[in-house]
Protein backbone atom coordinates (compact mmCIF):
# COMPACT_ATOMS: atom_id res chain seq x y z
CA UNK A 1 0.00 0.00 0.00
CA UNK A 2 1.44 3.42 -0.95
CA UNK A 3 2.19 6.27 1.42
CA UNK A 4 -0.90 7.80 3.00
CA UNK A 5 -1.39 11.52 3.51
CA UNK A 6 -2.85 12.20 6.97
CA UNK A 7 -4.12 15.64 7.95
CA UNK A 8 -6.48 17.24 10.41
CA UNK A 9 -9.79 18.38 8.97
CA UNK A 10 -11.24 21.53 10.51
CA UNK A 11 -10.74 22.74 14.07
CA UNK A 12 -13.29 20.78 16.10
CA UNK A 13 -12.00 19.39 19.39
CA UNK A 14 -14.22 16.66 20.81
CA UNK A 15 -13.97 15.18 24.26
CA UNK A 16 -14.79 11.75 22.86
CA UNK A 17 -15.09 11.87 19.08
CA UNK A 18 -16.84 8.74 17.80
CA UNK A 19 -19.04 7.11 15.17
CA UNK A 20 -18.00 8.84 11.92
CA UNK A 21 -20.32 7.95 9.03
CA UNK A 22 -20.58 9.13 5.45
CA UNK A 23 -23.94 10.34 4.15
CA UNK A 24 -23.73 9.97 0.39
CA UNK A 25 -27.06 11.72 -0.26
CA UNK A 26 -25.99 14.84 1.64
CA UNK A 27 -22.32 14.48 0.63
CA UNK A 28 -21.53 15.08 4.27
CA UNK A 29 -19.58 13.48 7.07
CA UNK A 30 -21.38 13.03 10.38
CA UNK A 31 -19.83 12.14 13.72
CA UNK A 32 -20.44 12.67 17.43
CA UNK A 33 -18.86 13.93 20.60
CA UNK A 34 -20.23 11.13 22.76
CA UNK A 35 -19.71 12.81 26.13
CA UNK A 36 -20.94 16.26 25.09
CA UNK A 37 -24.00 14.83 23.31
CA UNK A 38 -23.12 16.64 20.08
CA UNK A 39 -23.83 15.48 16.54
CA UNK A 40 -21.61 17.15 13.94
CA UNK A 41 -22.31 17.28 10.21
CA UNK A 42 -19.66 18.61 7.82
CA UNK A 43 -20.50 19.22 4.16
CA UNK A 44 -17.21 18.67 2.37
CA UNK A 45 -17.94 20.76 -0.73
CA UNK A 46 -18.55 23.96 1.24
CA UNK A 47 -16.83 23.26 4.54
CA UNK A 48 -20.09 24.08 6.31
CA UNK A 49 -20.21 22.57 9.81
CA UNK A 50 -23.43 22.05 11.77
CA UNK A 51 -23.44 20.99 15.42
CA UNK A 52 -26.58 19.66 17.08
CA UNK A 53 -27.12 19.15 20.83
CA UNK A 54 -28.73 15.87 21.95
CA UNK A 55 -29.06 14.23 25.37
CA UNK A 56 -25.65 12.99 26.53
CA UNK A 57 -24.10 10.51 26.45
CA UNK A 58 -24.44 9.37 22.85
CA UNK A 59 -23.30 5.96 21.67
CA UNK A 60 -23.42 6.08 17.88
CA UNK A 61 -25.23 7.41 14.83
CA UNK A 62 -25.92 6.21 11.30
CA UNK A 63 -27.65 7.86 8.33
CA UNK A 64 -31.42 7.33 8.20
CA UNK A 65 -34.00 7.78 5.47
CA UNK A 66 -34.65 11.48 4.91
CA UNK A 67 -32.48 14.25 6.30
CA UNK A 68 -31.84 12.40 9.55
CA UNK A 69 -29.72 10.00 11.58
CA UNK A 70 -30.61 7.09 13.82
CA UNK A 71 -29.06 7.58 17.26
CA UNK A 72 -28.01 5.23 20.06
CA UNK A 73 -28.71 7.09 23.31
CA UNK A 74 -27.97 5.83 26.82
CA UNK A 75 -30.61 3.08 26.96
CA UNK A 76 -32.56 3.48 23.75
CA UNK A 77 -32.75 4.55 20.14
CA UNK A 78 -34.01 7.67 18.43
CA UNK A 79 -34.28 9.39 15.06
CA UNK A 80 -32.89 12.91 14.84
CA UNK A 81 -34.12 15.12 12.00
CA UNK A 82 -31.55 17.75 10.98
CA UNK A 83 -34.12 20.05 9.39
CA UNK A 84 -36.58 20.21 12.30
CA UNK A 85 -33.94 19.56 14.99
CA UNK A 86 -36.36 17.09 16.53
CA UNK A 87 -35.45 13.85 18.28
CA UNK A 88 -38.08 11.10 18.12
CA UNK A 89 -37.67 8.05 20.33
CA UNK A 90 -37.92 4.69 18.55
CA UNK A 91 -37.42 2.06 21.25
CA UNK A 92 -35.36 1.06 24.26
CA UNK A 93 -33.26 -1.89 25.42
CA UNK A 94 -35.16 -2.44 28.67
CA UNK A 95 -32.37 -1.36 31.04
CA UNK A 96 -32.05 1.53 33.49
CA UNK A 97 -28.63 0.60 34.89
CA UNK A 98 -26.37 3.67 34.89
CA UNK A 99 -23.29 1.43 34.56
CA UNK A 100 -24.57 0.11 31.21
CA UNK A 101 -25.07 2.28 28.15
CA UNK A 102 -25.28 1.87 24.40
CA UNK A 103 -22.01 2.40 22.57
CA UNK A 104 -21.06 1.73 18.95
CA UNK A 105 -23.49 0.85 16.16
CA UNK A 106 -23.92 0.38 12.39
CA UNK A 107 -26.72 -0.42 9.94
CA UNK A 108 -26.99 -3.67 8.03
CA UNK A 109 -28.06 -3.99 4.40
CA UNK A 110 -31.68 -4.61 5.42
CA UNK A 111 -31.92 -1.21 7.13
CA UNK A 112 -31.62 -2.44 10.73
CA UNK A 113 -29.45 -0.59 13.26
CA UNK A 114 -27.19 -2.89 15.28
CA UNK A 115 -25.58 -1.46 18.42
CA UNK A 116 -23.84 -2.83 21.49
CA UNK A 117 -23.43 -1.70 25.07
CA UNK A 118 -20.55 -1.17 27.43
CA UNK A 119 -20.81 -2.33 31.03
CA UNK A 120 -18.69 0.08 33.06
CA UNK A 121 -17.26 -0.44 36.57
CA UNK A 122 -17.89 -4.19 36.34
CA UNK A 123 -16.00 -6.39 38.83
CA UNK A 124 -14.52 -9.53 37.30
CA UNK A 125 -16.99 -11.79 39.11
CA UNK A 126 -20.11 -9.88 38.00
CA UNK A 127 -21.90 -11.13 34.86
CA UNK A 128 -22.14 -8.80 31.89
CA UNK A 129 -25.32 -6.78 31.65
CA UNK A 130 -26.47 -5.51 28.28
CA UNK A 131 -24.98 -6.90 25.07
CA UNK A 132 -25.76 -6.44 21.40
CA UNK A 133 -29.13 -5.16 20.17
CA UNK A 134 -30.87 -4.73 16.83
CA UNK A 135 -33.45 -2.05 16.03
CA UNK A 136 -35.65 -2.81 13.03
CA UNK A 137 -37.15 -0.13 10.75
CA UNK A 138 -40.52 -0.98 12.34
CA UNK A 139 -39.17 -0.12 15.80
CA UNK A 140 -38.68 -3.64 17.14
CA UNK A 141 -35.72 -4.01 19.51
CA UNK A 142 -34.20 -7.46 20.04
CA UNK A 143 -31.15 -8.63 21.94
CA UNK A 144 -28.70 -10.55 19.75
CA UNK A 145 -25.97 -11.28 22.32
CA UNK A 146 -25.58 -10.98 26.09
CA UNK A 147 -21.87 -11.75 26.53
CA UNK A 148 -20.15 -8.59 25.20
CA UNK A 149 -18.80 -6.36 27.97
CA UNK A 150 -17.55 -3.42 25.89
CA UNK A 151 -18.97 -3.48 22.37
CA UNK A 152 -17.16 -1.56 19.63
CA UNK A 153 -16.67 -1.58 15.89
CA UNK A 154 -19.67 -3.53 14.59
CA UNK A 155 -19.32 -3.84 10.80
CA UNK A 156 -20.30 -6.20 8.02
CA UNK A 157 -18.56 -8.13 5.28
CA UNK A 158 -19.29 -7.01 1.70
CA UNK A 159 -21.96 -9.71 1.27
CA UNK A 160 -23.54 -8.81 4.63
CA UNK A 161 -23.30 -12.39 5.89
CA UNK A 162 -20.56 -11.82 8.47
CA UNK A 163 -20.80 -9.45 11.42
CA UNK A 164 -17.56 -8.34 13.07
CA UNK A 165 -17.83 -7.07 16.64
CA UNK A 166 -15.07 -6.08 19.06
CA UNK A 167 -15.08 -6.53 22.81
CA UNK A 168 -12.54 -3.84 23.63
CA UNK A 169 -11.76 -4.90 27.20
CA UNK A 170 -11.31 -8.54 26.14
CA UNK A 171 -9.07 -7.29 23.27
CA UNK A 172 -10.76 -9.50 20.70
CA UNK A 173 -12.77 -9.01 17.51
CA UNK A 174 -15.43 -11.66 17.11
CA UNK A 175 -16.99 -12.80 13.86
CA UNK A 176 -20.53 -14.18 13.54
CA UNK A 177 -22.65 -15.57 10.78
CA UNK A 178 -25.29 -12.88 10.29
CA UNK A 179 -28.90 -12.97 9.13
CA UNK A 180 -30.75 -9.61 9.28
CA UNK A 181 -33.96 -11.44 10.20
CA UNK A 182 -32.54 -14.11 12.48
CA UNK A 183 -30.22 -14.77 15.42
CA UNK A 184 -26.43 -14.65 15.37
CA UNK A 185 -24.62 -17.94 14.91
CA UNK A 186 -21.15 -19.49 14.65
CA UNK A 187 -19.34 -17.06 16.95
CA UNK A 188 -15.58 -17.31 16.48
CA UNK A 189 -12.46 -15.30 17.23
CA UNK A 190 -11.42 -13.21 14.22
CA UNK A 191 -8.49 -11.26 15.69
CA UNK A 192 -6.96 -10.86 19.14
CA UNK A 193 -5.12 -7.58 19.78
CA UNK A 194 -3.17 -8.31 22.98
CA UNK A 195 0.05 -8.16 20.97
CA UNK A 196 -0.65 -4.57 20.00
CA UNK A 197 -1.05 -3.54 23.65
CA UNK A 198 -4.47 -2.12 22.85
CA UNK A 199 -8.05 -3.12 22.67
CA UNK A 200 -9.79 -2.77 19.28
CA UNK A 201 -12.12 0.21 19.00
CA UNK A 202 -14.10 1.42 15.96
CA UNK A 203 -13.95 -0.56 12.72
CA UNK A 204 -15.06 -0.63 9.11
CA UNK A 205 -14.77 -2.96 6.12
CA UNK A 206 -13.36 -2.00 2.71
CA UNK A 207 -14.47 -3.13 -0.75
CA UNK A 208 -11.96 -6.00 -0.70
CA UNK A 209 -13.46 -7.36 2.51
CA UNK A 210 -10.54 -6.32 4.73
CA UNK A 211 -11.37 -5.09 8.23
CA UNK A 212 -9.89 -1.78 9.40
CA UNK A 213 -9.76 -1.55 13.20
CA UNK A 214 -8.63 1.34 15.40
CA UNK A 215 -6.04 0.37 18.02
CA UNK A 216 -6.91 3.16 20.42
CA UNK A 217 -4.04 2.83 22.90
CA UNK A 218 -1.44 2.20 20.17
CA UNK A 219 -2.45 5.22 18.03
CA UNK A 220 -2.63 3.01 14.96
CA UNK A 221 -5.04 1.64 12.40
CA UNK A 222 -4.78 -2.06 11.60
CA UNK A 223 -5.99 -3.63 8.36
CA UNK A 224 -6.82 -7.33 8.63
CA UNK A 225 -7.55 -9.75 5.79
CA UNK A 226 -10.86 -11.66 5.74
CA UNK A 227 -8.94 -14.58 7.30
CA UNK A 228 -7.71 -12.39 10.18
CA UNK A 229 -4.10 -11.82 9.07
CA UNK A 230 -2.53 -8.41 9.67
CA UNK A 231 -1.93 -6.69 6.33
CA UNK A 232 -0.84 -3.23 7.46
CA UNK A 233 -0.40 -0.92 10.46
CA UNK A 234 -0.90 2.82 9.97
CA UNK A 235 0.52 5.12 12.69
CA UNK A 236 -1.49 8.25 13.42
CA UNK A 237 -0.29 11.69 14.62
CA UNK A 238 -2.51 11.74 17.70
CA UNK A 239 -2.68 10.07 21.08
CA UNK A 240 -5.99 8.20 21.12
CA UNK A 241 -7.89 7.54 17.86
CA UNK A 242 -11.34 6.05 18.32
CA UNK A 243 -13.23 5.21 15.13
CA UNK A 244 -13.15 5.50 11.36
CA UNK A 245 -15.20 5.35 8.18
CA UNK A 246 -14.73 5.58 4.43
CA UNK A 247 -16.24 8.53 2.59
CA UNK A 248 -15.60 11.37 0.17
CA UNK A 249 -15.20 11.03 -3.61
CA UNK A 250 -15.38 7.39 -4.62
CA UNK A 251 -15.33 6.38 -0.93
CA UNK A 252 -11.53 6.59 -1.09
CA UNK A 253 -10.87 8.66 2.02
CA UNK A 254 -10.71 7.44 5.61
CA UNK A 255 -12.03 9.71 8.34
CA UNK A 256 -10.81 9.17 11.90
CA UNK A 257 -12.16 10.57 15.17
CA UNK A 258 -10.20 10.98 18.40
CA UNK A 259 -10.18 11.73 22.12
CA UNK A 260 -9.10 14.88 23.90
CA UNK A 261 -10.45 13.83 27.31
CA UNK A 262 -12.77 10.92 28.00
CA UNK A 263 -13.67 9.20 31.26
CA UNK A 264 -10.62 6.93 30.90
CA UNK A 265 -8.12 8.64 28.60
CA UNK A 266 -6.65 12.11 28.16
CA UNK A 267 -4.79 13.24 25.06
CA UNK A 268 -1.36 14.84 25.28
CA UNK A 269 -1.24 16.65 21.93
CA UNK A 270 -2.95 19.88 20.81
CA UNK A 271 -4.60 18.08 17.87
CA UNK A 272 -6.16 15.40 20.09
CA UNK A 273 -9.94 15.41 19.84
CA UNK A 274 -9.72 16.48 16.22
CA UNK A 275 -11.12 14.91 13.06
CA UNK A 276 -8.54 13.49 10.64
CA UNK A 277 -8.64 12.40 7.01
CA UNK A 278 -6.38 9.91 5.23
CA UNK A 279 -5.81 10.24 1.47
CA UNK A 280 -3.93 7.96 -0.91
CA UNK A 281 -5.81 4.73 -0.28
CA UNK A 282 -5.62 2.19 -3.12
CA UNK A 283 -8.89 0.63 -1.96
CA UNK A 284 -12.37 2.09 -1.60
CA UNK A 285 -14.87 1.60 1.17
CA UNK A 286 -18.31 0.07 1.00
CA UNK A 287 -21.42 2.25 0.58
CA UNK A 288 -22.89 3.34 3.91
CA UNK A 289 -26.05 1.44 4.81
CA UNK A 290 -28.99 3.60 5.96
CA UNK A 291 -31.53 2.97 8.67
CA UNK A 292 -34.82 2.16 7.02
CA UNK A 293 -37.18 3.81 9.50
- Known catalytic residues are 201
What are the backbone dihedrals phi and psi of residue 129, each rounded to the nearest 5 degrees, phi first? -110, 145
Give the torsion through C-alpha atoms of 215, 157, 134, 35, to 10 deg.
30
CB under 8 Å to 136, separation ≥6 — which residues? Answer: 111, 112, 142, 293
Counting every residue written for the chain, the total comes to 293
Instruction: Please tell me the distance from the alpha carbon of residue 110 to that of residue 114, in angstroms, as a whole number.
Output: 11
What single string gives the DSSP state of each residue in 243-271?
A: EEEEESGGG-EEEEEEBSB-SS-B--STT
**Cβ-contact 51, 38 below 8 angstroms:** yes
DSSP letter at 194? G
| Distance (Å, whole) CA 49 – CA 38 | 12
Amino acid sequence: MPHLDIRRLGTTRDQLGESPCWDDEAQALCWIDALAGTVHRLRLATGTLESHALPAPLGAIAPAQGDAVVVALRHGFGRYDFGTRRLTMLGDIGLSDLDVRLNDGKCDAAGNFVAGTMHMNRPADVPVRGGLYRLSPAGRVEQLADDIGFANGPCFSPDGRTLYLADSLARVIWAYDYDPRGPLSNKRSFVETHGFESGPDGATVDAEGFVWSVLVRAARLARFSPSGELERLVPLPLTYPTSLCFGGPGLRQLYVTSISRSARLEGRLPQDGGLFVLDGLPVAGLPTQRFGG
